[in-house]
Amino acid sequence: MTRAPLAGIAARIALVAIVGLIGAQLLSVAVALLMRPADVRVYAVGWLVERSADIARGAFARPPEARRGFLRARPEGEHLALDWTQSWSPAEDGSRRPRQGVRLARAIGERLPEGFVVAVELHRPGAGGSGPGAWQRLPRLGEGQVLRVPRDETAPGDAGTDNVLPGIFTIVIRGPDGTHVVLRPQGPTHGWAWTVLCAWLIGIAAAAAAAAWWAARRVARPLEVLAHGATRAGAGLAPDFAVPEPAPREVGAIASALASMHARLRGVVDDRTRMLAAISHDLRTPLTRLRLRAEQIPDPEERAKAAADIDEMERMIAETLAFARADALETGAERFDLAALLHSLVDDRIDLGADVALEGADAPPPGGLVVEGRPGALRRALDNLVSNALAHGTHARLSLEAGAEHIRIHVDDAGPGVPPHELERVFAPFYRLEASRSRSTGGAGLGLAVARDIARAHGGDVVLVNRPGGGLRATLSLPR
């Protein structure tokens, strides 16, 4: 069965922690972006004057249809938004032209031929955009006031400690033909901020994922140990409910409760087995008395029928005692070679003259299939299946499938099969099909029930299917 990616508790805890941390980071970034002041470029005044005049001369030296292409090709486009327009309206938001703007316009005009008019508006960054409506008015600057800043790579030109101007301007140069070249700041200086922000978020997410996964694994590991122990207990193997330290207090309480419950259940099963063995043993005495009384029946035919019934009861008691004694003497789980057990079982049957064989190219040689379980109990289950096949058919053929998750051992016979509605009922203790009640087939109806109980105690099962070509197939499956 394919597990969903988020089926484990560790994955779910880690996901909740990661989503929470990333959500908190995104929220903090959003708040920072909403509350941060607008970024403004800083321009060296000398560079701005020279570039503006040079751009205007080049643009108006070309025909109108070529001016926009010329402006787009200018290298100053990295720092300035350049445009050519037929008309220009001054800002309607109350923007002013303080003396700094007048001096900048005069300096640009001095570098242009006759017929050019230069206007400079100074603004404060507003909500966005670069047109006049997107700028707010700055207070009037004092006479001679300039902004001096250290050398900054974000200020185009060789600023040094020369006069610099923040990117809060709009320069409009009207040419002799009445059209206009407009120069504005290109945008915020910190265009790299989004790259840094993305890298920061990715780093936070990676660190959060690692920390959350580590913490979630520490929480989920004790639960995995408990699940493994419960699985072993269900398969009849020795469970280990000792959770690694430090484990949460609640997990330790669950482990203690599971260990106590397993001990109680094991005690109940042992008591039941001992009681069954005692009852079966005690029944031998009255059966012996019945046999003695049956010998005194005058009618030979009735005497034979009574003796046959007593023999059948003794066989049932003998099988019950054999099962109880074997279960009581069975040691704990151990690692053993299942292939060697199969070969030994087949060889013993062949020595007794039975037509039994282990078939299939996939049948591993002895030593080729090591599993964990109770070898005595599994041999008894397989022996019961082989006995059932020989009792109702002429031969028994064993085959083995060793998959990645399960091992399946098939026992095929050439008998009449089982009606479909009886395939499950035959597993009931002491239940036998009507066709098998003859004394020649023997059996008390415990063989299949015992085989299924043993397989399920190992985490597997026994199922019966009718083969298409006739006969019955009994499959004992075990987990790997």
Whether residue 281 contacts residue 321, with contact meaning beta carbons closer than 8 Å, is answered with: yes
| Judgement on whether residues 174 and 46 belong to the same structural domain of the protein | yes
Q: CATH code at 298?
A: 1.10.287.130
Provide the number of structural domains found in the chain.
3
Q: How confident is the model at residue 299 (pLDDT cuts 50, 70, 90)?
A: confident
Is 237 among the domain residues?
no
Dist CA 19 CA 209 (whole Å): 9
CB atoms within 10 A of CB 75: 7
Domain-ending residue, one of 145, 166, 189: 189
Q: Say what the pLDDT of residue 22 is.
A: 77
Q: How far is CA 40 from the centre of its chain?
A: 47
Strands, E assignment, 265-355:
334-337
Please give the residue range of the domain that contains residue 285: 248-329
Q: How far apart are CA 279 and CA 80, in angstroms?
A: 104
CA distance 253 to 267: 21
Shared domain for 324 and 392, answered yes or no, is no
Domain presence at residue 11: no
pLDDT at residue 371, as a whole number:
84
Measure the CA–CA gap between 117 and 120, rounded to whole angstroms: 10
pLDDT given at position 238: 65
Give every CB contact of residue 312 below 8 A, 6+ residues apart in sequence.
Answer: 439, 444
Quick: pLDDT tens for 352-391: 888 999 886 455 666 568 888 888 888 888 998 998 888 8
Strand 370-373 with 356-358, pairing: unpaired
Regarding whether 444 and 389 lie in a shared domain, the answer is yes
Closest CA to 352 of 396, 409, 414, 320: 396
Residues 295 and 394 in one domain: no
* pTM for this prediction: 0.46
- Residue after which a domain boundary falls, among 298, 329, 360: 329
Q: What distances in angstroms separate CA 442 from CA 141, 230, 304, 311, 388, one per listed residue?
A: 117, 39, 17, 10, 10
Please check whether residue 283 lies inside any domain of the structure.
yes
Burial of 382 by CB count in 10 Å (0-12 exposed, 13-18 middle, 19+ buried)? Answer: buried
- The predicted model gives 275-280 an average pLDDT of 74
50 and 184 within one domain: yes
For residue 143, what is the DSSP state?
Answer: T
Residue 279 shares a structural domain with residue 339: no
The rounded percent of the chain whose pLDDT value lies above 90 is: 11
CATH code (residue 414) = 3.30.565.10
Whether residues 283 and 379 share a domain: the answer is no
Residue 332, Cβ density class (10 Å: 0-12 exposed, 13-18 middle, ≥19 buried): exposed
CB neighbours of residue 83 within 10 Å: 17
First vs last C-alpha separation in the chain: 15
Q: Give the model confidence (pLDDT) of 30-63 as tens digits.
A: 666 665 555 556 788 888 899 999 999 999 999 9
Between 202-206, 268-272, 362-366, 418-422, the lowest mean confidence (pLDDT) is in 362-366
Are 135 and 50 contained in the same domain? Answer: yes
Tens digits of residue pLDDT in 120-142: 887 754 434 333 333 333 333 33
Cβ atoms of 365 and 328 within 8 Å: the answer is: no
Do the domain assignments include residue 157? yes
Same-domain check for residues 360 and 273: no
Is residue 369 a contact partner of residue 407, using CB atoms and an 8 Å limit? Answer: yes
Is there a single domain that holds both residue 118 and residue 253?
no
* 240 within some domain: no
Q: Is the separation of the CB atoms in 310 and 294 below 8 Å? A: yes
348-363 in b/e form (b: 16+ CB < 10 A) is: ebeeeebebebeeeeb
Note the pLDDT of residue 218: 75
- 180 forms beta bridges with 85, 174
Question: Both tokens of residue 199?
Answer: 């890298």
239 falls within a domain:
no
**Do 322 and 340 sit in the same domain of this protein?**
no
Mean pLDDT throughout 180-192? Answer: 70
Q: What's the mean pLDDT in 464-468?
A: 91
Looking at 283, 309, 329, which one is the last position of a domain? 329
**Same domain, yes or no, for 339 and 319?**
no
CA neighbours closer than 13 Å in the CB half-sphere of residue 174 = 12
Among left, alpha and beta (phi > 0; psi -120 to 50; other), residue 358 is beta
Phi, psi of 225, deg, nearest 5: -65, -45
- Taking the C-alpha atoms of residue 376 and residue 326, their distance in angstroms, rounded to an integer, is 8
